[in-house]
Amino acid sequence: MEREDLLDVYRHSLAHILAKAVIEIFGKENVQYAIGPEVSDGLYYDFVLPRAITKDDFPEIEEKMHEIIKRRESWLRQEINRADALEMFKDQRFKTELIQDLPEDETLTIYYTGDDFVDLCRGPHVDNSQELLSAAFQVKSASGSYWRGDEHNEQLQRIYVYAFPDKQQLKDHLKLIQEAMERDHKKLGQQLELFMFDETAPGMPYWLPRGWRLYNTLMDFSRGLQDEYGYQEICAPVFNNRKLYLISGHWAHYQNNMFVVPELERDENGKILLDDNGSFKMKPVEEADIYSAKPMNCPNAMIVFKSQVRSYRDLPLRLSENNVLHRKEKSGQLNGLLRVQEFRQDDDHTFVMESQIEEEIGKIFELTDKIYSTLGLSYRAELSTRPEDFMGDIETWNNAEAALKNILDNKYGHGGYEINEGDGAFYGPKIDLQMKDALGREWQCGTIQLDFQLPHNFELKYTAPDGSLKQPIVIHRALYGSFERFIAVIIENFKGAFPFWLSPTQVAVVPIKTEHNDYAEEICNLLRANRIRYEVDYEDKNMNAKIKTFKNFKTPYIIVVGGQEAENRTVSINVRGSNQQLRDVPLDTFLDMCDLMNEEKSLELLTEVPAEFNN
């Protein structure tokens, strides 16, 4: 058995131990137990219990689990028919429902842990609890969940447990979790004053001045590179008539995730009419002019392409767009910047001839490498294929998937990438880019999608060299993906200590006393002229308090100026992450250092004056 499979058996067996422990603590008559699978770092089990589980219960649960393991009980697997299973679990409503959903002739398996606990399970499991004696586990949390993940079903309590083969691996994982908590973008976003949320617009971030500078720096970086590759930026309406989405297919395939604005009944003066219950009166659907906030940019790009007569000489035509998108999410799924309802994407829709697909996607990978490597990030590619609710014909899908497989085979070698069967977009297969951060975690951000369907739906044509009309193919491409999600990832990757070129505030200026404000203002004017982002504190207050404030914002350079600096036209520099201070650096030299780091997009700060600047 593979090591990974052994770990799954180990964790799944511990899930049964958890269930048995909870039953022994609360009494069998008081516990309904649902399901308990293994997960990537442990396991969980869902229950209905007589009261809510709190942190105070965690030590007792862990102690009971250890006690059960030390009994060295044997595990017995038995096959059982449906009728006997229903009788055995007649007092357990969740197990009963699972059994009833299976075919009547299905042979089921159950597992005994000792003589007093039995669970409905496919297995496999350990043969005896003594195999778990070296188990290293810790209760992680208790939270709410819904039976079968459906919010309309009964609410359960889910107990999560971290579980690893030995204490060192558990210790390492807990250290990683602690580090991840310290990097949490929601916590750092508040500390660094980057963004905020308000209940008046759930899942729609307010970008604060520092955060918006970060946002625009990322956008400008992307725009600059795209300009080198011949992209042209457009901006299309945020609200569109549903007619657009009927053509694109989003109305049929994506309506549940769209913010729809129905047309309301009004009187002759334009006042909205109410019904007898005080609710808005809506026009009948067949008469209404219904609009929706756009969830994707692609339908608008099709309209732009169609607005002119196009020739093969125009292709590839690269239309980029960084517009606002809205997608409706369930409130429980919102998660800081990682899952929002309003966001932007660094979208592009490139219109190509079939013969241009491979070369164009090769250039997209070039661009991807430049963006990610500049940020010190690595990535890998995954191919997602035709979903169940696909649009179009099978042959077209097969051709699209074959084209992407060929591209990935050439780049990574056959089998050098993962294939996610059935995870493509409804209009075409895609390549997802999985980005790895400083903690080794992977995040799906960028995507490259091949689309034969939307050009067909919108009846797009270009004039071929022989004068005939041909249908273009569209490559959908986003490399950051959602700016919001990407920023969340890099906040956590850099722990809020961004490289100089990316930092919202690159330099903080601290005059020691108010009489040094004139020199501080002169410095700020030069920083602004050199397009270096700065903040300054002219207030008549303690110098160390000013410095501490800017350190909390993780500002790369804090320059302190007093009478000596003003007289000599120098600066003293506190370097982020370093206890040393660079003293008596000529102001012009410091500006040159900042310009160099901006130009080179350095990941590291200069902690001393480069030798060439001393000449």
Based on the residue annotation, tell me whether 173 is a catalytic residue of this protein: no
Task: Identify which of 230, 400, 403 has the alpha carbon closest to the alpha carbon of residue 317.
Answer: 230
Q: Which of 476, 477, 533, 576 is flagged as catalytic?
A: 476
Q: Which of 349, 470, 516, 576 is flagged as catalytic?
A: 349
In contact, 319 and 348? CB cutoff 8 Å: yes
In contact, 157 and 169? CB cutoff 8 Å: no
What are the DSSP E strand ranges found in 522-577? 534-536, 557-561, 570-575
Based on the residue annotation, tell me whether 140 is a catalytic residue of this protein: no
Q: Are strands 108-113 and 117-120 parallel, antiparallel or unpaired?
A: antiparallel
Q: Which of 347, 432, 437, 451 is flagged as catalytic?
A: 347
Based on the residue annotation, tell me whether 445 is a catalytic residue of this protein: no
153 Cβ contact list (under 8 Å, min separation 6): 146, 147
CA 335 to chain centre: 9
Task: Identify which of 236, 253, 355 has the alpha carbon closest to the alpha carbon of residue 298.
Answer: 236
Based on the residue annotation, tell me whether 345 is a catalytic residue of this protein: yes
Identity at 510, one-letter amino acid code: V
Burial 295-305 (b: 16+ CB within 10 A, else e): bbbbbbbbbbb
Nearest-angstrom CA–CA distance, 160 and 62 = 12
Long-range contacts formed by 312-316: CB under 8 A, 24+ apart? 312/353, 312/462, 312/463, 312/464, 312/465, 312/470, 314/351, 314/462, 315/351, 315/352, 315/353, 315/356, 315/462, 315/472, 316/230, 316/350, 316/351, 316/352, 316/356, 316/360
Identity at 556, one-letter amino acid code: P
Nearest-angstrom CA–CA distance, 249 and 267 = 34
Based on the residue annotation, tell me whether 476 is a catalytic residue of this protein: yes
Q: Interhelix angle for 483-494 vs 209-228, to 10°?
A: 110
Q: Which of 12, 185, 327, 339 is flagged as catalytic?
A: 327
DSSP codes, 56-100: GGHHHHHHHHHHHHHT--BEEEEEE-HHHHHHHTTT-HHHHHHHH
CA distances 198 to 72, 202, 214, 228, Å, are: 53, 6, 20, 39
Nearest-angstrom CA–CA distance, 274 and 371 = 53
Based on the residue annotation, tell me whether 294 is a catalytic residue of this protein: no
Nearest-angstrom CA–CA distance, 94 and 103 = 17
Q: Which of 157, 341, 345, 506 is flagged as catalytic?
A: 345
Based on the residue annotation, tell me whether 185 is a catalytic residue of this protein: no
Q: Which of 11, 64, 298, 506 is flagged as catalytic?
A: 298
380 Cβ contact list (under 8 Å, min separation 6): 417, 418, 433, 434, 436, 442
Q: Which of 294, 430, 477, 516 is flagged as catalytic?
A: 430
Peptide bond into 124 cis (omega under 30): yes
First to last CA, the chain: 66
Environment class of 449 (CB within 10 Å of its CB; exposed 0-12, middle 13-18, buried 19+) = buried
Active site positions, annotated = 298, 327, 345, 347, 349, 430, 476
